[in-house]
Structure 1
Amino acid sequence: MWAWLVDRFETPYLLATLGALIGLAFGYFGQRSRFCLRAATIEFAERQWGQRTTVWLITFSVAVMGTQLAIASGWFDTANVRQLASVGSLSGAILWAIRSRLPRGQIGHAIGAGAVIVVAWIATYQLSLVSFDPVPVRSLTFTSPSANVLMTVLATATVPLDFDFFFIPAVLLGAFLAAWHNRELELQGFQGGHAMKRYLAGAVLMGFGGILAGGCAVGAGVTGASLFSLTSWLTLLAMWVGGIVTHRLVDGTMRAT
Structure 2
Amino acid sequence: MDLLTLIETLAERLGEAPVAALFGLLTGVTFGIAAQRSKFCLRAATVEFARGQLGDRMAVWLLTFSTAVVWVQGAELLGLMRSADARMMAVPGSWSGAIIGGLLFGAGMVLARGCSGRLLVLAATGNLRSVVSGLIFAVVAQMSLSGMLSPLRDRLAGLWITSGGRNMDLLVEFGLPEWGGLALGLAIAAVALVLSRRNRIGAARLVFASGVGFAVALGWVLTYGLSQVAFDPVQIESATFTGPSAHTLMFFLDRNAILEFDIGLVPGVFIGAMLAAWSAGEMKLQAFDDALTMRKAMIGAVLMGFGGMLAGGCAIGAGVTGGSIFTGTAWLALFCMWIGAMATDMLVDQKLRPATA
TM-score by length of structure 2 reads 0.69
List aligned pairs for 1:50-199, cutoff 5 A: 50-79=55-84, 81=169, 82=171, 83=178, 84=180, 85-86=183-184, 87-154=186-253, 156-157=254-255, 160-199=258-297
What is the CA distance between 1:251 and its match in structure 2?
Answer: 1.4
What is the one-letter code of the residue matched to 1:148? H
2:44 paired residue among 39, 43, 49: 39
Q: How far apart, in 1, do the equivalents of 2:352 and 2:77 lie?
A: 49
Residues 134-153 of structure 1 show CA distances to partners (whole Å, capped at 9, x for unaligned) of 21111111001101211232
2:13 paired residue among 8, 23, 37: 8
Counterpart of 1:251 in structure 2 is 349
Counterpart of 2:319 in structure 1 is 221
Q: How far apart, in 2, do the equivalents of 1:63 and 1:255 lie?
A: 33
What is the one-letter code of the residue matched to 1:106? R
Q: How far apart, in 1, do the equivalents of 2:348 and 2:9 lie?
A: 55
What is the CA distance between 1:119 and its match in structure 2?
Answer: 1.1
Q: How far apart, in 2, do the equivalents of 1:90 and 1:70 lie?
A: 17
What is the CA distance between 1:130 and its match in structure 2?
Answer: 1.1
Unaligned runs of 5+ in 1: none
Whether the aligned pair in 1 keeps the contact of 2:250 and 2:257 (CA below 8 Å) is no
RMSD over aligned Cα, in angstroms?
1.5
What is the one-letter code of the residue matched to 1:153? F
What is the CA distance between 1:200 and its match in structure 2?
Answer: 0.3
Following TM superposition, where does structure 1 have runs of at least 4 consecutive aligned residues deviating by more than 6 angstroms?
none
What is the CA distance between 1:159 and its match in structure 2?
Answer: 6.1
Change (3 A) 1:160 1:96: same
Change (3 A) 1:175 1:229: same
Instruction: Report 1 or 2 for greater relative contact order, CA contacts < 8 Å, sequence distance ≥ 6.
Output: 2
Unaligned runs of 5+ in 2: 1-5, 85-167, 172-177
Change (3 A) 1:208 1:122: same
What is the CA distance between 1:8 and its match in structure 2?
Answer: 2.8
Query: Which deviates the most, 202-211 or 64-73?
Result: 64-73
Residues 211-253 of structure 1 show CA distances to partners (whole Å, capped at 9, x for unaligned) of 1101000000100011111101110001111111111110122
What is the CA distance between 1:255 and its match in structure 2?
Answer: 4.2
Residues 140-181 of structure 1 show CA distances to partners (whole Å, capped at 9, x for unaligned) of 110011012112322x23563211112111111111111111
What is the CA distance between 1:88 and its match in structure 2?
Answer: 1.0
Q: How far apart, in 1, do the equivalents of 2:257 and 2:306 lie?
A: 26
Name the % identity: 45
